[in-house]
């Protein structure tokens, strides 16, 4: 991770859970981290904690609604003005709604596509263009995916969400191929966790907190820090090593 000191990383969905853990880890390793979310109060608190802890990097909160392309483009413009550009892009933001295929609301489906697929793709495009215009040839784009992007969960509430995560799997491999065609050494990686104990289930099952709690009580889950460790492992790999897909589950998780 030594070569990343002082360089700029963007972490989407950085206010809680995996995003917050990744942002903290990168700041510990000396990076300038732009952490974005719709609500930056928690990111501001995390930034203060990182500063108090004496971490060598910095965390810069940025308010951004990832379902709005104008917000994303404005964020990248601000990063260019203030920090020259993005060297590492961590597409972490994602959400799920209980909207089955046979009875789900179109608005819920659209919101999942907007954040899980389109926002990820827009951020990827803008990060690559930022690297290209500055002749950065060792950048890295990491998509935080899900095991739901590799097998279908047998639950109607999860099916559309899984479809968006299958898209992330395909987009990451497509990105890798396009980067090779462009003859760049910029790398693309997909990290696919199983069950991680965060606020995700409580947001997903917001009308049934007992169901959400049961998700995390059934087995010893992964922690957000486990995913952050995977991110730093991937970033720390030698520049000639392409780690394409990291799948990680709790030992007790069946599928």
Residues classed as catalytic = 161
- 95-130 in b/e form (b: 16+ CB < 10 A) is bbbbbeeeebeeebbebbbbbbbbbbbbbbebbbeb
- Cβ-contact 121, 168 below 8 angstroms: no
Q: Which two tokens stand for residue 131?
A: 């690297």
Q: Which two tokens stand for residue 24?
A: 């903290």
State the residue for tokens 């789900």. 104
Q: How far apart are CA 154 and CA 156, in angstroms?
A: 7
Q: Give the contacts of 168 (CB within 8 A, at least 6 positions apart).
A: 116, 117, 120, 143, 145, 146, 149, 190
């Amino acid at each position: 991770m030594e070569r990343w000191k002082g360089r700029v990383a963007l972490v989407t969905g950085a206010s809680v859970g995996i995003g917050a853990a990744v942002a903290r880890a990168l700041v510990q390793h000396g990076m300038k981290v732009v952490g974005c979310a719709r609500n930056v109060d928690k990111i501001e608190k995390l930034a203060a904690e990182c500063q108090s802890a004496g971490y060598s990097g910095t965390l810069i909160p940025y308010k951004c609604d990832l379902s709005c392309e104008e917000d994303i483009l404005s964020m990248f413009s601000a990063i260019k003005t203030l920090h020259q550009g993005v060297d590492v892009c961590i597409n972490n933001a994602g959400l799920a709604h209980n909207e089955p295929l046979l009875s789900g609301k179109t608005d819920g489906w659209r919101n999942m596509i907007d954040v899980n697929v389109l926002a990820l793709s827009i951020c990827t495009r803008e990060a690559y263009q930022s690297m290209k215009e500055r002749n950065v040839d060792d950048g890295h784009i990491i998509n935080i995916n899900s095991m739901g992007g590799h097998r279908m969960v047998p639950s109607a509430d999860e099916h559309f969400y899984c479809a968006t995560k299958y898209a992330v799997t395909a987009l990451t491999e497509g990105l890798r191929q396009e980067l090779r065609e462009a003859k760049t050494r910029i790398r693309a990686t997909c990290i696919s966790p199983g069950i991680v104990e965060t606020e995700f289930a409580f947001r997903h099952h917001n009308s049934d907190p007992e169901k959400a709690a049961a998700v995390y009580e059934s087995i010893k889950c992964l922690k957000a820090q486990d995913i952050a460790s995977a991110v730093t492992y991937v970033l720390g790999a030698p520049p000639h090593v392409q780690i394409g897909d990291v799948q990680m589950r709790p030992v007790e998780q069946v599928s």
